[in-house]
Chains A and B, each alone.
Chain A
Amino acid sequence: MVRRGGVRRWLSTVGFYGLAVMFMLPTVFVFYWMITLSLKPQVEATAYPPSFVRFSVSMAGYREVFTKYPFLLYTWNSLVVAAGCTALGLAVGLPAAYSIARWRQQRLALAILVARIIPGIAYLIPWYIFFRRLRMVDTYGALILTHLIVGLPIIIWVMISFFEDVPADLEDAGLIDGCSYFGVFWRVALPLVKPGIVATAILSFVFSWNNFLFSVILAGRETRTLPIAVYTMISYEEINWGTLAAAATLITLPVLLVALVAQRHIVTGLTFGAVKQ
């Protein structure tokens, strides 16, 4: 009897891991394929049947990405815009979220939610006319401001719940001891919501880094970000899969690394609004 129970448990464990692998295999495979494709020489990248494990490694794709295109400039642009958007988003979003949470400004919270719901493309037409009039197309400013439209609602929305968890007694104690409202916000509330700040900062950075829709219209030759660069490459490089895969890998790698380092925070940021209600 004991032995049969052992076999059954062993079988269920094997079955569990079998299912687990089956579910997670597509996720892994797409990334694996992207990276191996970027390392294959041109002939093997388009070989049929494709080789999965055994192939000769070549850096030709990566070399081409950096020599034929100003890829470093694109990377720099992406970094500047994402960092600028995150910094500005936190500077505006943290006080906003604090005020909404502390004084229960439900209408403002709803307005933030609506901003989250409105399709990005609906913003794009007014933005486009606006920035053309101001002659701001192809500037970092235009990109940072438009990316804020995506980042800011997320920052505020997630941070409201974090600030609501800060005990009001603590803040009142600060006020009684002679702290200003800003002092309480800065010295009492902010340090307590640090995990939330990290989570939203990462999310806002990632969303800005990945943004395609706003940048494709508002970025020009000088401020082109990585997703746009890849898009323009498609039309030129229809057949050169190694180069395309190398570009795709270079764009995704930084975000994937951030995700690996800060996975706990990202999960918090992505699932917060749903679970904590």
Chain B
Amino acid sequence: MSLQEWFVSSLTPPRFIGSANYSKILFGDPRFREAVARTVYFTVLAVAAETILGLAMALLFNREFWGRGVLRTLAILPMVATPTAIGLVFVMMYHPTLGVANYLLSVVGLSPFRWTYSSQTALYALALVDVWQWTPLIMLIALAGLASLPREPYEAAHIDGASTLAAFWHITLPLLRPALVVAVLFRAIDALKTFDIIFIMTQGGPANSSETVNILLFNQAFSYFNLGYASSMAVALFAVVLGASLILIKVRRTASW
């Protein structure tokens, strides 16, 4: 399909045009290239924040304390909540004049943002929703990883006079790596595919500033019914996602220090 010129609306049947669609997305369509860059940027931003925050939270909560069960319950709520509904709530919270987000900022003395209503901040505001939803996943996986760590290396390090920070850097992180890499891998794959919240909250706007590949593709296919071209984009998106997964898997294998 990606090798055809295929409009659903037109009367002409699909026409074979070879690799024309691919050369168009590779060389002739700046909008697609920008969308790819935006998708990758969104993913890196969101997943990096989630990993750091999630790891920090896991380290904090990795002990016996009153309210562990409550914490775990709270952690899974954002992950199972319907993205469409969450997007809707964030749209209302982000409202530049009536939204609670700007009110809270003004309470702590910060100047208001225009969040998803400005082309400068829209992508960040969307990434923030993703971080809100998925940081707990990294935290839960890291917590499970921490719980399975052996005690002996820490005792040895303590006897050898290593600081807490050194113990974290040289023992905890390397031992936690496998679990963490898988978590990041799955998060990255899903972040690259993010569609619901973006479509609900901005539809790619304002002025295409949050138009990721998913949104562009969806509009090409189901607003303009340009199915052939959209298919070639879908193949390209799949290649990006697959490439990202392969890179991450490779990183996990080779750099096991």
Interface residues of A (CB under 8 A from B): 16, 19-20, 23-24, 26-28, 30-31, 33-34, 37, 46-50, 114, 116-122, 124-126, 128-129, 206, 209-210, 212-213, 217, 226-227, 230-231, 234, 241, 244-245, 247-249, 251-252, 255-256, 258-260, 263, 266-267, 270-271, 273-275, 277
Residue of B88, B186, B221 touching A273 (CB-CB under 8 A): B186
Residue of B78, B195, B230 touching A212 (CB-CB under 8 A): B195
Are the C-beta atoms of B98 and A46 separated by less than 8 Å?
yes
Are the C-beta atoms of A27 and B192 separated by less than 8 Å?
no
Are the C-beta atoms of A252 and B60 separated by less than 8 Å?
no
Are the C-beta atoms of A252 and B85 separated by less than 8 Å?
yes
Are the C-beta atoms of A33 and B93 separated by less than 8 Å?
yes
Alpha-carbon separation in the docked complex, A33 to B99 (Å): 11
**What are 18 residue pairs bridging A and B, where the CB atoms are less than 8 Å apart in the complex?**
A27-B136, A30-B132, A119-B192, A122-B238, A125-B227, A125-B230, A126-B1, A210-B82, A230-B88, A245-B92, A248-B86, A249-B85, A252-B81, A259-B73, A263-B76, A266-B76, A267-B76, A274-B179
Are the C-beta atoms of B140 and A270 separated by less than 8 Å?
yes
A81 CB to closest chain B CB, in angstroms? 14
The residues of B that contact A248 with a CB separation of less than 8 Å are 82, 85-86, 88-89
Q: Is B235 an interface residue (CB 8 A)?
A: yes
Are the C-beta atoms of B183 and A274 separated by less than 8 Å?
yes
Alpha-carbon separation in the docked complex, A121 to B84 (Å): 16
Residue of B82, B91, B214, B241 touching A252 (CB-CB under 8 A): B82
Are the C-beta atoms of B88 and A234 separated by less than 8 Å?
yes
Q: Is B75 an interface residue (CB 8 A)?
A: yes
Interface residues of B (CB under 8 A from A): 1, 53, 57, 60-61, 65, 67, 69, 71-86, 88-93, 97-98, 100, 103, 132, 136-137, 140-141, 144-145, 148, 178-179, 182-183, 186, 189, 192-193, 195-196, 199-200, 214, 217-218, 221-222, 227, 230-231, 234-235, 237-238, 241-242, 245
Are the C-beta atoms of B182 and A277 separated by less than 8 Å?
yes
Given contacts A121-B195, A275-B141, 8 further A-B contacts (CB under 8 A): A19-B60, A27-B78, A124-B218, A209-B82, A245-B88, A248-B89, A252-B86, A267-B72
Are the C-beta atoms of A125 and B189 separated by less than 8 Å?
no
Are the C-beta atoms of A26 and B76 separated by less than 8 Å?
no
A273 CB to closest chain B CB, in angstroms? 7
A216 CB to closest chain B CB, in angstroms? 8
The residues of B that contact A259 with a CB separation of less than 8 Å are 73, 76-77, 80
Residue of A47, A206, A213 touching B80 (CB-CB under 8 A): A206
Alpha-carbon separation in the docked complex, A249 to B39 (Å): 29
The residues of A that contact B222 with a CB separation of less than 8 Å are 128, 217
The residues of B that contact A124 with a CB separation of less than 8 Å are 218, 221
Alpha-carbon separation in the docked complex, A80 to B57 (Å): 38
The residues of A that contact B218 with a CB separation of less than 8 Å are 121, 124, 213
Are the C-beta atoms of A227 and B84 separated by less than 8 Å?
yes
The 9 A-B pairs at the shortest CB distance, nearest first, are namely A248-B85, A122-B234, A227-B84, A274-B182, A275-B144, A210-B82, A212-B196, A119-B193, A34-B89
Interface of A is mostly: helix
Are the C-beta atoms of A48 and B97 separated by less than 8 Å?
yes
The residues of B that contact A26 with a CB separation of less than 8 Å are 132
Identify the closest chain A residue to B14 (Cβ): A129
Alpha-carbon separation in the docked complex, A217 to B90 (Å): 24
Alpha-carbon separation in the docked complex, A258 to B196 (Å): 22
Are the C-beta atoms of A24 and B234 separated by less than 8 Å?
no
Are the C-beta atoms of B88 and A129 separated by less than 8 Å?
no
The residues of B that contact A266 with a CB separation of less than 8 Å are 76, 80
The residues of B that contact A260 with a CB separation of less than 8 Å are 73
Are the C-beta atoms of B85 and A227 separated by less than 8 Å?
yes
The residues of A that contact B1 with a CB separation of less than 8 Å are 125-126
Residue of A245, A255, A263, A267 touching B81 (CB-CB under 8 A): A255
The residues of B that contact A24 with a CB separation of less than 8 Å are 71, 74
Residue of B57, B72, B103 touching A49 (CB-CB under 8 A): B103
Alpha-carbon separation in the docked complex, A230 to B109 (Å): 35
The residues of B that contact A125 with a CB separation of less than 8 Å are 1, 221, 227, 230-231, 234
